[in-house]
Structure 1
């Protein structure tokens, strides 16, 4: 997997965290970098740990399903991306809370990184060098989460659904690319 592909996946995975960070920034009466850093550390940390756990799980059975692993990767990414698109297009109001306590942030970080677990399983099928990949995903998510807090504090939640929609579409396109490569339709 190229660095460009990894960056695209990292951005796609970070969009849930970015969207929640935007709402965190909206809920903060005044933007402070310490709070933004806390949000970034939670989201970036969980976005790095979850694909690693998925990779470990996927590695345990990847040899037995090598013949159709590209279909599994495709389905996982399309399902994850489709759910993100669905959430982006729903018009449900979400509660925003400026709390940065450990329990609250851990629940949010787990919720925004579940899709990264499935991507980690996909990485095991693709034989991705996992430690640099998850570190890169964590750094990208940390950075985008901090930007999200600032954006939310300045502009509000109006970009939340657009970020989720973009992230979902990116993951769907990456799933399609993986499938097409393995079927021989793309020469890369």
Structure 2
């Protein structure tokens, strides 16, 4: 597998993370620069590490990942998206009007969107693709796609106002539902 194929593999793997990045910037329009940087970094890190884990654990977890990855992703993203929507409707006057994005939430999202990269690691082993080439390309493409997606999300958030949080939650739920179908 050459560099061009690995680029497109990284592009395909990064689409869920990019969609979640848009969702996060819609839901959290007032992110500080650290949070803005942490999002693409976390997604890129996990997209780069998961193929390594899949590569070395290919025999042990292959069946589990193939069977349950969609369900795990579905439950995690639907839970986070649902919580975002519920928080909008049950926000009191005393509550802070600016929702907070946390590292924990970002890590959970990064794991949920990178489960398919674990399965790709199994394929990379079967195809004798060197991880030293594949993983950095996948991570860099993911970082770029998430960064671009965040810029798009910021554009939309500026004119959607507080409805952006609801839209962000709905997007996460939609991505979770999509994960149920291969």
Normalised to the residue count of structure 2, the TM-score between the two structures is 0.65
The gaps in structure 2 that reach 5 residues or longer are 75-80, 88-98, 157-163
Q: CA RMSD in A?
A: 3.8
Tell me how far 1:101 sits from its aligned partner.
2.0
Contact preservation (8 Å) 2:6, 2:134: yes
Tell me how far 1:36 sits from its aligned partner.
1.9
In structure 2, the partner of 1:131 is: 132
Deviations 1:68-92, CA, capped at 9 Å, x for gaps: xxxx9xxx6xx98xx6xxx8xxxxx
Tell me how far 1:41 sits from its aligned partner.
0.9
Number of residue-to-residue matches in the alignment:
149
Q: Residues of 2 paired with 1:6 and 1:44: CA distance?
A: 15
In structure 1, the partner of 2:8 is: 8
In structure 2, the partner of 1:182 is: none
Name the CA shift for 1:55/1:45 in 2 (closer, same or farther; >3 Å). Answer: same
Contact preservation (8 Å) 2:18, 2:146: yes
Tell me how far 1:4 sits from its aligned partner.
1.4
The gaps in structure 1 that reach 5 residues or longer are 62-71, 88-92, 173-188
In structure 2, the partner of 1:120 is: 121
Q: Residues of 1 paired with 2:32 and 2:149: CA distance?
A: 13
Tell me how far 1:102 sits from its aligned partner.
2.5
Normalised to the residue count of structure 1, the TM-score between the two structures is 0.63
